[in-house]
Chain A
């Protein structure tokens, strides 16, 4: 029991040391309200620590961490869904909006980040997960493993994400 506990603690400490800031960015992408975000982040940490009791090494530690975090965040989103006023859109819709909109300048770093969060928050849940993992530097295979879809499917989405990001920020940068 004690050995189990210490292994759990070790894994948790390893996870937070390597992915702590990424988990915060993930929580921020799901919850813009600061208080609720702190709650969500704590919930992710609690779930992570508890989950390590059952970590059997079937997948990499990183995949495990992001599955736990994404699943806790998904629960959070569903719990608060009734408060959500705006419907989700798909990457295709966003690509259309980006090409038809008059384009707001993404001047400055902070504004670009805010624009990125607004883009992510408007996406449907699965594409939301893909884009966050992509921005964290995951490749298609790793994203597929966390999300549970083929890497080919992920690659298609990433291709669209890249186009949207390039289009949106390039136009913003020019203005």
Chain B
């Protein structure tokens, strides 16, 4: 088979034609916007319920360390949720202007997406997420162990599990980051290679 035949074979495939009129598209965008609004309201409601529950939870503890630990945990989770949300938005073209899709070359666009992913899993953003997430549970556990010495053994087990989870998260994230980095290197090589 010659290359022209390969092109003819490719272009001659039967395609399942998708027919969308501009009006269909407007309706669909409208539906998507409504769905996004509903999801946002749902998310805000859940956040509100979580915050209310957390403050109620705070009133259960007299111990200062447990209270500070709980507040820091809430702050850490909120920060993590915000980072994940902004990362998801960045992954989608809908997060930026649609016109930029036509103005950006495929290589630049791909590089930008991969860089965003890589930085989510390593570097400042990743360590900041970890740093903000750790102190809350640690303080809470110390406070809890001090207030309830009779369950100190259980607390130690919980602390070890928490530490193991954190330790496991580091190589997992770094592995993902290096996978994105490899793809970025591939793009660089591609641009250099002639």
Contact = CB atoms under 8 A, between A and B. Distances in A.
Task: State whether these chains interact.
Answer: yes
Interface of A: 8-9, 12-13, 16, 20-22, 24-25, 38, 41-43, 45-47, 49-51, 53-55, 58-59, 64-65, 67-68, 70-72, 74-75, 78-79, 82, 88, 90, 106, 109, 112-113, 116, 124-127, 129, 134-137, 145-150, 152-153, 156, 162, 165-166, 169-170, 172-173
Given A148-B107, A152-B194, A165-B1, A50 B117 contact: no
B25 A49 contact: yes
B36 to A, nearest CB: 13
Contact of A74 (B13, B100, B106): B106
Given A9-B22, A20-B18, A25-B10, A166 B3 contact: yes
B20 interface: yes
Contacts of B117: 78
Given A24-B16, A42-B20, A166-B1, A109 B109 contact: no
Main SS of chain A's interface residues? helix
Interface SS, B side: helix
Interface stretch (B46-54, B69-77, B91-99, B148-156): B91-99
Contacts of A64: 102
Q: How large is the interface on B (under 10, 10 to 19, 20 to 34, 35 or more residues)?
A: 35 or more
B186 A67 contact: no
Interface of B: 1-3, 5-7, 9-11, 13, 15-18, 20, 22, 25, 28-29, 32, 91-93, 97-110, 113-114, 117, 176, 183, 186-187, 190-191, 193-194
